[in-house]
């Protein structure tokens, strides 16, 4: 790809925008980065890039560029992005820009939950098989950074959010992984259908020789690649779960008890990674060796501490209902749930049967706590707390020996924290301070 003589406008000065600017500059483009924030947002911007802080809709209307590259944090059909699109020769995202340069094998991974764990597993398996691989995209480095330099990996495991998939055009993964789907980001999308349509774009450019790894039972129209299915809860897929053993067409291929992967959600993440490995010619033996000592990411069903016979589980990465439901289904001890956070417009009615089955009490935090309290009180004992530390203290008083305190918010954290990581760190610190 050659951008010599072309003007490139990059929207957003964050990590994705900086990576896109660096790649566009490398390809010969004349690059300007626009952001609504001030000069400080442009720290770390590559030399040779023109900076435009304080950008507005009027700035966008006046901009004429051969190529506009938008960062995933900016709403694609919002007024700001639409203003720049008016004068754009082409309007794409950073994933698409990087894909036009990269010539290796692409594993694209999407889903409402489990993307990071599966992406890490794929990277780890590829390396164990002697292949260079980098996890990138929504996790790790931006894809545009991974394709630059002398050591470009043979394979990339690209974690893909719906925001990133909105702006692809020709991006085509050799293996496309669909982990699961549930409503999320309803503060960005006008409907669940719009959110789902963005996710489904992962399959749209695949060809018959490509592979689609999908969860059994998902309604996924128009898949053109060879389909491989998995499920930890249903029979009939290529990969299934028998006790703690992952089965492939009736034969045992991975014993989860020999790994640090726990819960049905992690069983399915491992199945997706196994199916990806098989599609790329890697044996189950290599996979087993690669995942034997793999530790899942922090903040996803992370055991923080056992105190007075009570396990304290940090599931701060549960930023939507599906993640909360997965954590609840995996419980085998009486539990107190700590939940709540930002109001994302989600319908929590479907979680009530799981609360009734697995939870003795709930402690609620965040801007959504009042509405959740009114709903959850139909099935369980409900308490409210002003801070997460207060919630941990209340949960300790409610938990019974042999039980679990599960912090699985079921929504995002931005009403109280900078992100789920900061939220999980506060939970961990509060648990470790208990006496």
Active site residues: 115, 138, 185
> Residues 427-432: contacts with CB within 8 Å, 24+ apart?
427/304, 427/314, 427/316, 427/338, 427/388, 427/392, 428/302, 428/304, 428/314, 430/388, 430/389, 430/392, 430/393, 431/304, 431/305, 431/307, 431/312, 431/314, 431/392, 431/405, 432/304, 432/305
Contact 146, 236 (CB under 8 A): no
- What are the phi and psi torsion angles at 352 (to 5°)? -60, -45
Q: Transcribe 193-247 into DSSP letters.
A: HHHHHHHHGGGTT--TTSEEEEETT---TT--SEEEEE-SS-SSSSEEEETTEEE
**By CB neighbour count within 10 A (0-12 exposed, 13-18 middle, 19+ buried), where does 380 fall?**
middle
Helix H or strand E segment including 16: helix 15-26
* Under 8 Å between Cβ of 311 and 332: no
Within 8 A by CB and 6+ apart from 173, the residues are 106, 107, 108, 158, 202, 206, 210
Q: DSSP letter string over 300-355?
A: SSEEEEEETTEEEEE-TT--SHHHHHHHHHT--S-EEEEE--S------GGGHHHH
């Amino acid at each position: 790809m050659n951008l010599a003589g072309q003007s490139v406008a990059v929207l957003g000065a964050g990590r994705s925008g900086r990576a896109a600017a660096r790649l566009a500059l490398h390809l010969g483009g004349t690059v300007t980065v626009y952001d609504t924030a001030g000069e400080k947002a442009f720290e770390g911007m590559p030399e040779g890039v023109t900076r435009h802080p304080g950008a507005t809709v009027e700035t966008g209307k006046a901009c004429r560029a051969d190529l506009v590259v938008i960062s995933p944090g900016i709403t694609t059909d919002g007024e700001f992005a639409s203003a720049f699109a008016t004068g754009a020769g082409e309007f794409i995202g950073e994933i698409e820009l990087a894909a036009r340069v990269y010539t290796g094998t692409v594993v694209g991974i999407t889903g409402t939950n489990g993307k990071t764990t599966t992406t890490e597993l794929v990277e780890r398996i590829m390396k164990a098989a002697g292949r260079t691989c980098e996890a990138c995209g929504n996790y790790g480095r931006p894809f545009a950074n991974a394709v630059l330099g002398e050591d470009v990996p043979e394979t990339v495991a690209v974690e893909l959010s719906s925001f990133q998939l909105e702006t692809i055009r020709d991006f085509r993964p050799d293996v496309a992984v669909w982990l699961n789907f549930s409503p999320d980001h309803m503060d960005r999308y006008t409907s669940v259908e719009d959110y789902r349509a963005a996710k489904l774009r992962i399959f749209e450019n695949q060809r018959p020789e490509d592979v689609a790894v999908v969860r059994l039972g998902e309604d996924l129209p128009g898949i053109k690649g060879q389909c491989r299915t998995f499920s930890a809860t249903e029979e009939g897929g290529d990969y299934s779960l028998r006790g703690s053993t992952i089965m492939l067409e009736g034969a045992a291929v991975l014993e989860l008890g020999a790994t640090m992967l726990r819960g049905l959600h992690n069983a399915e993440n491992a199945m997706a990674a196994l199916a990806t490995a098989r599609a790329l010619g890697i044996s189950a033996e290599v996979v087993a060796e690669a995942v034997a000592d793999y530790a899942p990411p922090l903040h996803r069903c992370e055991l923080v501490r056992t105190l007075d016979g009570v396990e304290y589980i940090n599931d701060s990465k549960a930023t939507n209902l599906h993640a909360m439901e997965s954590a609840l289904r995996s419980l085998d001890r009486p539990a107190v749930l700590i939940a709540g956070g930002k109001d994302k417009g989600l319908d929590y009615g479907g979680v009530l049967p799981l609360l009734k089955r697995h939870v003795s009490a709930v402690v609620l935090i965040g801007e959504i706590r009042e509405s959740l309290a009114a709903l959850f009180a139909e099935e369980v004992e409900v308490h409210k707390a002003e801070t997460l530390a207060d919630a941990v203290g209340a949960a300790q008083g409610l938990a019974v020996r042999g039980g679990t305190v599960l912090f699985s918010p079921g929504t995002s954290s931005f009403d109280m924290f900078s992100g789920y990581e900061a939220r999980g760190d506060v939970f961990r610190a509060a648990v470790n301070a208990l006496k």
